[in-house]
Structure 1
Amino acid sequence: MSEIFLRIPADDPKSLVLAAAVCTAWRRIFCDLSFTRQYRKFHGAPPMLGFLRNTYHERTWGTGRNKQYEGYVVSSFVSTASFRSPACHERRHRRVLDSRHGLVLFQTPKRGEEFVVCDLITYDRWRINVSPELSGLIWNYELDEDDDDVENEMVTWNAAVLCVKDKCDHTYCHYGPFLVALMGSDEEQGVTFASVYSSETHKWSDMISIPEQDLMQMTGHIAVMGDKVYFQCEAETTVEYIIGKQELSRFDLPGEDEEFDDSDVDLVGVDDGMLLFATVLGPRLYLWSLEACPNVAEDWSRRRDIELGPLLPPRALFGMSVVGFAEGVGAVFLNTEAGLYTIELNSGRSKKVHEEKSVEKVMPYMSFYTKAWGRSPTSH
């Protein structure tokens, strides 16, 4: 039975849970730590259980001259497998920033803390407040001459969450320590700044900065390789943050062919140990790879072009843009006029995963569901 259970697809948690509930003997197999380790080894990279996204709404109240408006963000989880976490229902005033190593990072502007990190499998939450030095920057305010808070649109920022469990292969990151890396740009001061929070010390590091005029893309994708975090700025500039050394550096993407002058080539993630960049032009998906810490233009190379015509319905070939990438399973998310699709780079298969036609960014949630099998006292 163990050999049969090993072959249940990792992206089908419903079947796993149902099988574990059949009888005590089967449940004992699923809850055995050696079996869960074999299961993860058998399947390799964690499966994609779904993705998170943000939508923006407007609420009105009052009438006539007293009519008022309030904009707010709603975060939601969309399942792409037989998985639905109780921690994933739609939440107002909670913006998803990043999803990685089984953790999700939210910004919570209407709560008493600035950030919340969630494990969607174990339902654990960690609430985080920023340091006073960073508070004014991430809330985009500054003091005017009357000592009142005013919005500062010259500051943009983004943040990433990453597991730092010792010798972790990131197939089973539950309960491990994590870091939150925050990086931003202050156009008025002409600097890019960064700081990191540790769940072990419950403290933020001292803020570091480098001269930089380009603003950070708040909705841009983030890539992580070891303790190196990559954020994209405007003007096709990428900033590298080496957490261990507390160093910041930037590099510009080498010039490409003239045919891509009007297309945004964006950082989307990491694949095969290299930074992955992508864009859509016409009915084709273009991918580039770039070595980490690039020193010369030769490190940048065209990886492949994918003809999308045979993979997507005709209506989906209009208004396309790359909005996400699922590392490990190698799936690119495309927003189209016909909905949201994934393209698997290895198999070339396409799949419609949502009806929404105006998705700006998706953050895939990757994790094995094995932790949920051992929630009874007999399994500990």
Structure 2
Amino acid sequence: MSLPPPPQRGRQSPPVLVDDALGEIFLRIPPDDPKSLVRAAAVCTTWRGILSDAAFDRCYREFHGAPPVLGFLHNKRHERTYGKGRNKRREAYLVSNFVSTASFRPPACHERRHWHALDSRHGLALFHTPKRDEDFVVCDLVTYDRWRINAISEFRTVISNANDEDITWNAAVICAKEQCNHIYCHGGPFFVALVGSDEEKTFASFYSSVTRKWSGMISIDEPHAILMTGHSAVVGNKVYFHCEETESVVEYDMGEQELCVIDTPFESELVDLVGVEDGMLLFTTLKNSRLYLLSMVAGPDGTKEWARCRVVNLEPLLPSHALLDVSVVGFAQGLGLIFLNTEAGLFTVELASGRRKKVDGDTSFTKVMPYMSFFTKEWGRQPTSE
């Protein structure tokens, strides 16, 4: 009987893994590290085939659940001086900025002069663009698909009078796919809900990307000023906007085309609507280095039902000098991630684990809009032209 061949010395090739085993490994690449997926896809045609497969794309999203935060949008006010002598003038304008918190860099979206970021939800970002031919732009920062929208004539006067203190408005973008779990909303369709107020009325309308038309404007005889720098919240077909100077919330039901104002039992003007958690409106307030989270279900006829109130002690989570001036400026729905602007920079705090992370050194954020989306098979796609 012949003896087996002696073992070979030196470096040996690793055993070939089956596609299923490779797929299980790739599933565990963190979703906020899309660069690793891109690098893996570039190794060989086999790996690229696995990562580009629609079945893997679907399994990857289901495995990780809520989309990761790839970065956040915020606005900065700038001023420029032009002209000379008596003709010298100053112009104030906004610049929208995207700050990456992951290995993700959207094409040509870091700074947009005269673009005002209004909202970010379901993988879409909504901008007000007063210096362009259209009034709004909706942008998918992963695929860089863009949709240009003009406001209806009744609203054009409203949104153009930004310096009129008696006219306020805000807008939100919402995925319009039926029975969507909002894990993968690329390509539309979507709605844009627009709510405004003047000295006499509060009014609303919404745009559908399917019909490319606005709904008829509805109104109520209640002049509740919309908080223009506030966050919006979405529950089903209902969109909520916080009001200025009063602890009220405007509810716009796009499905039933109804508009109403809900009074909240808050005594402090520092309570802010930041989003939705477990299908309930989420409000926050800060007092003595403690973060109070107040959840509310908005019932019919403006009734309220409180679900819970939680308190998070920020002292063990943030540096001592950061506690001198803290404000809640953003919330990542589905991840339970709060954004806090502090004297030491911008921090995120995971409500479930208490884990905190410093994401930016700036201390002047007033509103940040987390951009949440999976970045899987979209790599390599070239941005469309303006």
Alignment TM-score > 0.5, same fold = yes
Indicate the residue corresponding to 2:194 in structure 1. 182
Q: Structure 2: which amino acid aligns with 1:193?
A: F
Is the aligned partner of 1:29 residue 2:50? yes
Indicate the residue corresponding to 2:181 in structure 1. 169
Q: Give the SS at the match of 1:135.
A: helix
Indicate the residue corresponding to 2:367 in structure 1. 361
Q: Structure 2: which amino acid aligns with 1:182?
A: L
Q: What pairs up with 1:201-280 in 2 under 5 angstroms? A: 201-234=211-244, 235-255=246-266, 261=268, 263-280=269-286
- Measure, in 1, the Cα distance between the counterparts of 2:297 and 2:65: 24
Aligned length: 360
TM-fit CA distance, 1:176: 2.2
- Measure, in 1, the Cα distance between the counterparts of 2:219 and 2:60: 44
Indicate the residue corresponding to 2:17 in structure 1. none
Q: Which has the larger radius of gyration?
A: 2
Indicate the residue corresponding to 1:84 in structure 2. 105
Percent identity over the alignment is: 64
Is the aligned partner of 1:19 residue 2:40? yes
TM-fit CA distance, 1:133: 1.6
- Measure, in 2, the Cα distance between the counterparts of 1:300 and 1:55: 36
Q: Contact between 1:87 and 1:120, CA under 8 Å: does it hold in 2?
A: no
- Measure, in 1, the Cα distance between the counterparts of 2:265 and 2:87: 53
1:311 is aligned, of 288, 307, 317, to: 317
Are residues 129 and 217 of structure 1, via their aligned partners in 2, closer, same or farther at CA, if it must alter by over 3 Å? same
RMSD: 1.6
- Measure, in 2, the Cα distance between the counterparts of 1:109 and 1:207: 21
- Measure, in 1, the Cα distance between the counterparts of 2:88 and 2:76: 23
Deviations 1:305-355 (A, max 9, x none): 111010000111011111110111111111111111111111111111111
Are residues 247 and 213 of structure 1, via their aligned partners in 2, closer, same or farther at CA, if it must alter by over 3 Å? same
Are residues 35 and 374 of structure 1, via their aligned partners in 2, closer, same or farther at CA, if it must alter by over 3 Å? farther
Q: Give the SS at the match of 1:137.
A: helix
Indicate the residue corresponding to 2:153 in structure 1. 132
Q: Give the SS at the match of 1:112.
A: coil
Indicate the residue corresponding to 2:343 in structure 1. 337
Q: Contact between 2:298 and 2:304, CA under 8 Å: does it hold in 1?
A: no
Is the aligned partner of 1:347 residue 2:358? no
Q: Contact between 2:188 and 2:209, CA under 8 Å: does it hold in 1?
A: no
Q: What pairs up with 1:63-82 in 2 under 5 angstroms? A: 63-82=84-103
Q: Give the SS at the match of 1:36.
A: helix
Indicate the residue corresponding to 1:372 in structure 2. 378
TM-fit CA distance, 1:227: 0.8
Gaps of 5+ in 1: 142-150
TM-fit CA distance, 1:375: 4.6
Is the aligned partner of 1:200 residue 2:194? no
Q: Contact between 2:139 and 2:146, CA under 8 Å: does it hold in 1?
A: yes
Indicate the residue corresponding to 1:300 in structure 2. 306
Q: Give the SS at the match of 1:291.
A: strand
The two structures have a TM-score, normalised by structure 1, of 0.91
- Measure, in 2, the Cα distance between the counterparts of 1:373 and 1:58: 37
TM-fit CA distance, 1:87: 3.7
- Measure, in 1, the Cα distance between the counterparts of 2:148 and 2:303: 42
Q: Structure 1: which amino acid aligns with 2:116?
A: R
- Measure, in 1, the Cα distance between the counterparts of 2:343 and 2:86: 38
Q: What pairs up with 1:279-290 in 2 under 5 angstroms? A: 279-290=285-296
Are residues 301 and 38 of structure 1, via their aligned partners in 2, closer, same or farther at CA, if it must alter by over 3 Å? closer
Q: Give the SS at the match of 1:268.
A: strand
Q: Contact between 2:51 and 2:377, CA under 8 Å: does it hold in 1?
A: no
Q: Structure 2: which amino acid aligns with 1:236?
A: E
Deviations 1:228-286 (A, max 9, x none): 10111121110111101000111111145xxxx4x511100001111100011121111
Indicate the residue corresponding to 1:144 in structure 2. none
Q: Contact between 1:20 and 1:373, CA under 8 Å: does it hold in 2?
A: no
- Measure, in 1, the Cα distance between the counterparts of 2:249 and 2:202: 11
Are residues 318 and 295 of structure 1, via their aligned partners in 2, closer, same or farther at CA, if it must alter by over 3 Å? farther
Is the aligned partner of 1:325 residue 2:331? yes
- Measure, in 1, the Cα distance between the counterparts of 2:300 and 2:98: 35
TM-fit CA distance, 1:88: 1.8
Gaps of 5+ in 2: 1-21
TM-fit CA distance, 1:166: 2.0
Indicate the residue corresponding to 1:40 in structure 2. 61
Are residues 218 and 298 of structure 1, via their aligned partners in 2, closer, same or farther at CA, if it must alter by over 3 Å? closer
Q: Contact between 2:233 and 2:281, CA under 8 Å: does it hold in 1?
A: yes
Q: Contact between 2:120 and 2:126, CA under 8 Å: does it hold in 1?
A: yes
Q: Contact between 1:30 and 1:373, CA under 8 Å: does it hold in 2?
A: no
Q: Contact between 1:31 and 1:373, CA under 8 Å: does it hold in 2?
A: no
- Measure, in 1, the Cα distance between the counterparts of 2:259 and 2:306: 20
Q: Give the SS at the match of 1:110.
A: coil
- Measure, in 1, the Cα distance between the counterparts of 2:215 and 2:127: 20
Are residues 306 and 369 of structure 1, via their aligned partners in 2, closer, same or farther at CA, if it must alter by over 3 Å? same
Q: Give the SS at the match of 2:371.
A: strand
The two structures have a TM-score, normalised by structure 2, of 0.90
- Measure, in 1, the Cα distance between the counterparts of 2:302 and 2:115: 40
TM-fit CA distance, 1:62: 3.0
TM-fit CA distance, 1:181: 0.3
Q: Contact between 2:241 and 2:249, CA under 8 Å: does it hold in 1?
A: yes
